[in-house]
Amino acid sequence: MQWTKLFFWLFLLGHTLGIAFGFGYWYKEQLLQTPFYLWIFVPVSPLYALFFLLSLFFIWRSFSFSLFYYMTSVGLLQYGLWGVLFWGVYGLSETVSLPIVLWLAFSHAVMALNIFLLFPAFEFRSLYSFFALVWFGLTAFMQYLLQNNFIFRFPVLNYAAVLIILLTLLSPFLICFLWKRHRYLFAEQKYLKRLFYFFFLKIYKK
């Protein structure tokens, strides 16, 4: 089980570093120029990566927050796919080094794949899709249509905006489709419970 333990801690470390990079470096200047009451609309990728880690903690503690897990899944898929598609097209055209571009593309791909770990934790409701469309539509509006995005400029901003609008419309229903097809992908192996039992129980015993 040593390799599993190593993978688990690398998994947590990678997510923690990604969240710290997003909040503390990538979005730092934008957060400083944005009123604090709009901050929730700014660092979207690290925010939903943080929500993912919180979701894992809540699942471990057997908290039932279906809507939160669903919304987190939508955010992970939407911004994960956005990161892969955006940096795959415009990565080298921006003033960003190749290692950073590769890191951003890889980390966003991992974000999108994380949705499968949350599927066993929630029951889908049709009304959830409406909540997701409203919330993520508002986020897209605040970020792009109100010029609240200081990271990119035209014409790159046009591509970023069109891409996020398309993903805003598609992601809630794509989550529904994937949830119905793969919700037991990890539940059958009790994957999360095995991980948390193995690592956290040992920590608390110490």
Task: Tell me the per-residue pLDDT of 131-173, one tens digit each, with 9 for 90 and over.
Answer: 999 999 999 888 775 554 545 554 556 777 788 889 999 999 9
The angle that helices 98-113 and 66-90 make with each other, rounded to 10 degrees, is: 150
Instruction: Please give the average per-residue pLDDT across 67-79, as a whole number.
Output: 96
Sign of the C-alpha dihedral computed for residues 120, 125, 130 and 135 taken in this order? negative
Question: How many domains are contained in the chain?
Answer: 1
Using pLDDT thresholds of 50, 70 and 90, give the confidence band for residue 94.
low
What is the chain's mean pLDDT, rounded? 80
CA distance 79 to 82: 5
Range of the domain at 100: 2-205
Please tell me the predicted confidence (pLDDT) of residue 204.
36
